[in-house]
Amino acid sequence: MPSFTTLLGLSGGPNNDHDVADDFRHSLLAHTRLHQDVHSAIPPKRVTAVALRLKYLIEQTVPCELKETQITRPHSEIITRNVVQLAREAGGHEDRACVVFCLLVCLRWFKRQSVLELYDADLNNLRAEACQVIAKTIIESYEDHDYLFQEVLLKRFSILKNGKESPPSNVIEKAVDLHATRIIGSSGFQKCIQYLWKGWVAQDVNDPMQFVSYKEMANKSWWVHFDHDRIRAPRYQNLFQILVSLVYLILYTIAINTVNAHGGIDVEEGLLYLMTLSFIADEFSKFLKVGIFYLSFWNVFNLLLYGVLCISFGLRMTALTYGEDSEQRKHYNIISYNFLACVAPMIWSRMLLYLDSIRFFGAMLVVLKVMMFESIIFFALLVVVIIGFMQGFIGLDNADTVRDDTWFVMEAMVRAILGSPEFDGFENFGHPFGQILYYMFTFIVMVILLNILIALYGQAYSDITENAIDEYLALFAHKTLQFVRAPDENVFLPPFNLIEIFGLIIPFEWWMSKRTYAWLNDKVMAVVYSPFMVLIAFVESREAKKVAANRAKGEADDDETEEWEELQGELDMEREGWNKKVLDTVPDVEEDRACQMVRRLQKEVEELKKIVLEQRQESAEGEDLLLSDEIEGLTESEESNEAE
């Protein structure tokens, strides 16, 4: 059954209703510019036709409510090989590349239908799950990874919506936006994500329609990989952001522990505020590109942090306008440091944003995200209860025409919400009505609402931990797409974006030719990223040796030789006869044990029936032969009698 937050359209999980705007909500990149240059690889009308065929197939395959395990278990009796093969043939030979994309379109349709038609919500959610099972099976059936990456997963398609072409999207983007964890967890999908993460496959800056492979993967030369363009790879951008965040944290620690008695700004504090400016500029530029859909929990968190730091900086500047020994300067400096000290938990929590590529932190962040969405129910109920009781308390306070206990009541209500109710003082507050109201408020908040919140948190935690691996893979895929979608021509990450803004864009871009400006950007990037490029060149030159060795053996570029693969080319199981022994010994897991016994019994019954029919036929032939002999004997006797 869908959760209550899902029915309200508040959930951020896979059961959310996704239209085109909802798909954008999870994206953190500039769709507007991208869609102006990209069109569907297959005409949208044909893609829509394939999606409708698949929708009809799934509706007939899952005609009624079933147990989810009947759909999702391996060797399902519902999603059979024939069903998967027919789904693969829905686009024919010409449009077969868009089948997986169309299954994701059907997934979105069924999710939307489950919200619009609540009486069939379970059935449509089950059909949506069937879409994922079929899509995952098709993805894992491809052995040609080049075709899988370039044509199936990374090619962009559109459908018709209200007679118009929808914004183009590929399977990678669509699956992440729809939070299709089963598809994201498939082997082929994750292999593609790993190639995108390492920068081995990247979107062509000049042609957004195409994804190109990195040509120097097997080049062992150190200087070849000493290239500032490699900073576009998501793993290097993420590593750079982690290093910058560590520097930011160190600068804050030094600044908060070295209070300047005279109110001046030292080097560490100045760098701290300068880096804050670069982060604000980066958030602002992304917001201009993407729009309102860019906002998410972490963006709001960061903006709140930067806002408090800006207030602290403003107070420091205000203090400098007064004399060095004046009381006003000391007053503003103390307030500034108080604001600076209050952001310490936020500064440290901010590191979690860049550590989500680690599995432990990634899974916990998913749990926290789902808990925040589930909390909406609690806070919605809490606001209504607070307003109702607050109005009652204020009415009791106004009964004597003097309102003098409002702050006392508000403080007592806040303590009750936080689990430490204060009953003293209500004996004389509108006695006995004030005391009764406060007891009722405390009971509703602490016994009912807080237990509802605990239950919601427990349910969210269990749902995520049961599917922790797929949830982490979905988070990692989403993080990768943040760097991949609509890449910038010149990647200046904070704090180097200040160099781009004040050192390149403002003084040169408006009058310099495009070719010269691109050359200037390349030179500046080569200088500012040169220390980091040394690390990149070292890592990629070592990886190139493994890639070259794998290609020499005819294996995949990212293949790793494990202990159990040491004698893979020397040991022949079939020649030794071990293969036949194993096949004769191991049970058949594709069918249930009872079904196997029934099939065996059916075969024996058919053999017995065949034997009975043969014996009956033989007996019938013997009787016919005996009857013919008797007839011949009678005929001979009659002939002899006539002769006499």
Token digits for 155?
Answer: 């090619």
Q: Band of the pLDDT at 6, cuts 50, 70, 90?
A: very low
As a whole number of angstroms, the distance between CA 197 and CA 54 comes to 31
459/370 Cα distance (integer angstroms): 10
Q: Residue 265 has which token pair?
A: 């700004």
Tell me how far apart the alpha carbons of residues 463 and 411 are, in angstroms, rounded to a whole number: 36
- For the chain, which residues make up each domain, given as ranges? 4-217, 231-353, 359-481
Centroid of chain to Cα 273: 33
> What's CA 164's distance to the chain center, in Å?
28
Per-residue pLDDT band for 184 (boundaries 50, 70, 90) equals very high
Task: Specify the residue for token string 């520097």.
Answer: 247
For residue 83, the tally of other CB atoms under 10 A from its CB is 20
- Is residue 634 very low, low, confident or very high in pLDDT (cuts 50, 70, 90)? low
Q: Which residues contact 51 (CB under 8 A, 6 or more apart)?
A: 102, 105, 106, 109, 159
- Among 147-156, 293-302, 514-523, the range scoring the smallest mean pLDDT is 293-302
Rounded to 10 deg, the angle between the 44-61 and 121-141 helix axes is 110
The span from the CA of 90 to the CA of 95, in Å, is: 8
Strands of 167-294 (E only): list them.
Answer: 201-203, 211-213
Q: Is residue 211 classed as helix, strand or coil in its secondary structure?
A: strand
Beta-carbon contacts of 453 under 8 Å, excluding residues fewer than 6 positions away, are 375, 378
pLDDT in tens, 104-121: 999 999 999 999 988 888
Region for 263 from its dihedrals, namely left if φ exceeds 0, alpha if ψ lies in -120 to 50, beta otherwise? left
Contact 480, 196 (CB under 8 A): yes
C-alpha angle with apex 432: 431 to 433, nearest 5 degrees? 100
Q: Which tokens hold the place of 71?
A: 């759909």
Q: In this structure, are residues 13 and 456 in contact, taking their beta carbons and an 8 Å threshold?
A: no
Percent of the chain topping pLDDT 70: 84
Q: What is the pLDDT of residue 111?
A: 93
Where residue 426 falls (left for φ over 0; alpha for ψ -120 to 50; beta otherwise) is: alpha
pLDDT digits 0-9 by tens, 581-616? 888 787 766 666 677 678 788 888 888 888 888 888
The two three-digit tokens of residue 348, written as one number? 């440290």
- State pTM to two decimals: 0.78
Taking the CA atoms of residue 329, residue 332, residue 337 and residue 338 in that order, the dihedral angle to the nearest 10 degrees is 150
Can you tell me the distance from the alpha carbon of 229 to that of 243, in angstroms, rounded to the nearest whole number? 19
Q: How far is CA 494 from the centre of its chain?
A: 25
For 384-401, give one letter per residue: b (16+ CB within 10 A) or e.
Answer: ebbeebeebbeebbeeee
Q: Over 60: is that where the pLDDT of 17 sits? A: no
Instruction: Write the CA distances from 643 to 153, 589, 629, 636, 639, integer angstroms.
Output: 98, 79, 21, 11, 6
Neighbour count for residue 431 (Cβ, 10 Å):
11
Q: Give the tens place of pLDDT for each residue, 477-513.
A: 888 888 887 566 778 888 898 998 888 888 988 888 8
Query: In terms of Cα–Cα distance, which of 382, 501, 526 is closest to 449?
Result: 382
> For position 291, what pLDDT does the model report?
67
